[in-house]
Amino acid sequence: MSHKPWSGFPNFDGPEFVKDAAVQAIKDGKNQYARGYGIPDLNIAIADRFKKDTGLEVDPEKELLLQMVALKQLLQLC
Residue-wise pLDDT for 9-67, tens only, equals: 777 888 999 999 999 999 999 877 777 777 889 899 999 999 999 999 999 988 887 77
Q: Give the Cα separation of 20 and 73 in Å (integer).
A: 29
| Per-residue pLDDT, 10 | 73
Give 33's DSSP letter: P
Res 5 pLDDT > 80: no
> Rounded CA gap, 64 and 36, in Å?
11
Question: Is 1's pLDDT higher than 60?
Answer: no
